[in-house]
Amino acid sequence: MPALTLFRLYDLPAEPPDAGDLRPVSPLVLRALWDEWGADGEPPWPAPAAHLLLAKENGEPVGCVGVNLTAPGEVGPLLRAPVLADRADLAGALLHGALWRLRWLGHAYGFAPAGVADHAGEALRATSWAIPGDVGSPPAERDVPGQEWGDVLVDLRDWPLPRPVVELELDGAPVLVRRPEAAEQLLVVDWIKDVFGRGWAAEFARAFAHDPVSAVVVARPRGFAEDPRRCLLGFIAYNTVRAGMLSSIALSEEIRGRDNGIAATLLSSCLSEARAHGFDHVVLGGVSRRLVALRAVDAAWTVPGSCPGVFGKGIRDR
């Protein structure tokens, strides 16, 4: 698979990119510029929510770069007008502008292929990390020792698409791993607030703002108990803390620490949901027990420099 470079968007330089007249336009503009500037091959087919950043000088297009065009969170392709093909400053400004755009859109990380990432200047290179290709190597070799916690990158390009419902067994009774229904929002969010705190409840509530809901729960079937809260056993979400980032897995005390496959199934199902959403890469946010996650997923690595990352800055009372 093509080599990619990850950029920690929360560590981008404080100053915005000096890219002149740089603004988002329809990705359909790429087709015209591709032909006009004689780029090799064919332009990529735009993904949903894709757009193009177009740079102009003296009112004329001089360069462009895709944002979310090949996949959510990804930058590229990057083109310059033929007469400006040697303008390294223009290419660097386009890359910087695209990464800033991703951060503004709510991403914690951006990804760029080698031909695009190579244009990073010194300040951007300080935020970057070349994603390894050692899929399946021992978990300890894919970790970064010494970090109190860290974000774990997962490559989803070979990950399977989701099943609507996964049925497991707990103490002789069925439990279901599935996407929550809209009608369950208040029940689930109130339960999370009481058991896990208002911070997690606020994050999970955001999952219901997406269509489809960007979360997975594990629950007993309807009617298991008179109190419906007793049906709820755990949850995980994505696109809540940041775009393309998964929350921590949360399990009720009833099943926490038991080797019942529920945590692994929650993680696997959420990764499949993110894959169906179009992500090639996602990040498990703020993981302390990283080796557990790295054992569960072969194509996963701890991101260097990701502690404290995006965490520890917001105000919470619990």
With 0-12 CB in 10 A as exposed, 13-18 as middle and 19+ as buried, what is 249? Answer: buried
| Listed range (130-139, 164-173, 186-195, 307-316) with the worst mean pLDDT | 307-316
Contact, 113 vs 65, CB < 8 A? Answer: no
With 0-12 CB in 10 A as exposed, 13-18 as middle and 19+ as buried, what is 243? Answer: buried
pLDDT of residue 303: 96
pLDDT at 154 over 60: yes
> Cα separation of 262 and 251, whole Å?
9
Residue 312's pLDDT band, with cuts at 50, 70 and 90, is low
Q: Dump pLDDT digits (tens) for 187-212.
A: 999 999 999 999 999 999 999 999 99
Q: Which domains does the chain have, with CATH numbers?
A: 4-130 (3.40.630.30), 139-302 (3.40.630)
Residue 19's pLDDT band, with cuts at 50, 70 and 90, is low
> Cα separation of 171 and 167, whole Å?
13
pTM above 0.75, yes or no: yes
pLDDT of residue 75: 97
Q: Dump pLDDT digits (tens) for 43-91.
A: 988 887 898 999 998 889 999 999 999 999 999 999 999 988 788 889 9
pLDDT of residue 242: 94
Residue 22's pLDDT band, with cuts at 50, 70 and 90, is confident
Q: What are phi and psi of 302, to 5 degrees?
A: -70, 135
Q: Dump pLDDT digits (tens) for 88-102.
A: 889 999 999 999 999
Q: Dump pLDDT digits (tens) for 90-145.
A: 999 999 999 999 999 999 999 999 999 999 999 999 999 999 988 889 999 999 98
Q: Dump pLDDT digits (tens) for 31-46.
A: 999 999 989 898 988 8
Q: What's the average model confidence in pLDDT over 224-250?
A: 93
Q: What's the average model confidence in pLDDT over 173-184?
A: 96
pLDDT of residue 15: 80
- Beta partners for 154? 282, 300
